[in-house]
Each structure stands twice: as structure tokens, then as C-alpha cells.
């Protein structure tokens, strides 16, 4: 049978005596050291999680080589026609925020690929369904229509009256 008894606490260190039958061995446990190791481990886990999140690769087929990459300002300037977004189901849903999507547009201005970058899970699918129907002016380079890709951001507000949104420059 193993029993533990606390003797004293000094500078967040504990002296414990572990008894196994008739044998006893004092063990000093430094709580500052354990606490510091725990904090360092937590920082490493959080840092690696953030790095993994930033290192997401684009979905296959989006922004392939040979496709012009445009800035968010250029993508917004080429936007010609948007479609309404459908509000999430539920009477008491109140959401505000921004959805950022990576898109690829063909030579005639139709969206061919959409990848979610960020946004609230309840509104993402509605944003993707709407953006699939958007129309852009063809991007021309030296008079030749080219495919392009870039990011588009949608700032939205959902309440009991419906959904309102604006297209803004992506971060």
C-alpha cells in the first residue's frame, strides 16, 4: 500500500514521503518546475497548431499554375453581378462577421473553384452557394482574356429580418 504525506511547503515545493510497507523515501517535488514545463508545453502545442492552420494548401484545382493571381482589390473591381445569400434556418439566429473565400474565375467570368478561407460555419455554405453564381468581368492581359484567382470577403449580418451583406476587400 502506497501512502503520501505532506511535510511542508517552501517556495512552491513540496516534500512528500512515500511509504511502501515499512520502507519510506522522501521525494521533493518542485511545483515551479512542473508548472513551467506545463506552460512551455502548452505554448509549443498552440504554436504548432497555428503554424499548421496557416500552412493549409489550396484545394486541388484552385489557383493552378498559369492562372493569374490578383489582389483582393482587383478581384472586387472585376465583380459584375452578385446573387442573394440565404439566411441560416432559425428564428433567433443573430450573426455578424466576415467570410473570406478563395476563388478561381474562368475567361468568361464564371466562378469555377471556391475554397473557404475563414468564416462562421453557419454562413459558409450559403456564401459558397451564392458566390458560385456570381459573374465577373473577364480579366484581360494585353487584350487576351485570362483565368484569374484571388480572395473575396463578404461582411454579413443575420437577424430575424434576414441577411444583409457587402462585398469588401479581403484581408
Q: What CATH number should be reported for the domain holding residue 95?
A: 3.30.1150
Domain ranges, residue 81: 68-168
Percent of the chain scoring above 90 in pLDDT: 24
Mean pLDDT of 52-77: 69
> Which residues are CB-neighbours of 75 under 8 A, at least 6 positions away?
103, 136, 148, 150, 151, 152, 170
pLDDT bracket for residue 148 (50, 70, 90): very high
For residue 57, name the pLDDT band (cuts at 50, 70, 90): very low
Same domain, yes or no, for 86 and 8? no
pTM: 0.60
Whether 7 and 48 share a structural domain: yes
Count of domains for the chain: 2
Tell whether 106 and 153 lie within a shared domain.
yes
In a domain, 62, yes or no: no
Contact of 162 with 87, CB cutoff 8 Å: yes
Q: Which of 90, 78, 48 is nearest to 148 (CA)?
A: 78
Q: Give percent of the chain above pLDDT 70.
A: 63
Check whether residue 9 and residue 82 sit in a common domain: no
Amino acid at each position: 500500500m502506497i501512502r503520501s504525506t505532506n511535510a511542508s511547503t517552501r517556495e512552491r515545493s513540496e516534500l512528500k514521503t512515500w511509504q511502501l510497507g515499512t520502507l519510506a523515501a522522501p521525494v521533493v517535488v518542485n511545483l515551479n518546475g512542473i508548472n513551467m514545463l506545463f506552460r512551455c508545453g502548452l505554448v509549443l502545442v498552440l504554436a504548432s497548431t497555428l503554424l499548421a492552420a496557416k500552412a493549409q494548401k489550396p484545394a486541388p484545382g484552385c489557383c493552378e499554375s498559369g492562372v493569374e493571381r490578383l489582389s483582393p482589390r482587383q478581384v472586387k473591381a472585376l465583380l459584375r453581378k452578385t446573387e442573394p445569400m440565404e439566411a441560416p434556418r432559425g428564428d433567433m439566429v443573430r450573426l455578424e462577421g466576415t467570410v473570406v473565400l478563395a476563388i478561381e474565375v474562368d475567361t468568361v467570368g464564371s466562378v469555377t473553384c471556391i475554397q473557404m478561407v475563414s468564416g462562421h460555419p453557419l454562413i459558409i455554405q450559403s456564401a459558397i452557394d451564392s458566390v458560385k453564381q456570381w459573374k465577373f468581368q473577364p480579366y484581360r492581359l494585353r487584350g487576351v482574356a485570362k483565368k484569374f484567382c484571388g480572395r473575396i470577403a463578404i461582411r454579413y449580418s443575420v437577424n430575424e429580418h434576414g441577411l444583409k451583406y457587402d462585398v469588401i476587400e479581403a484581408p
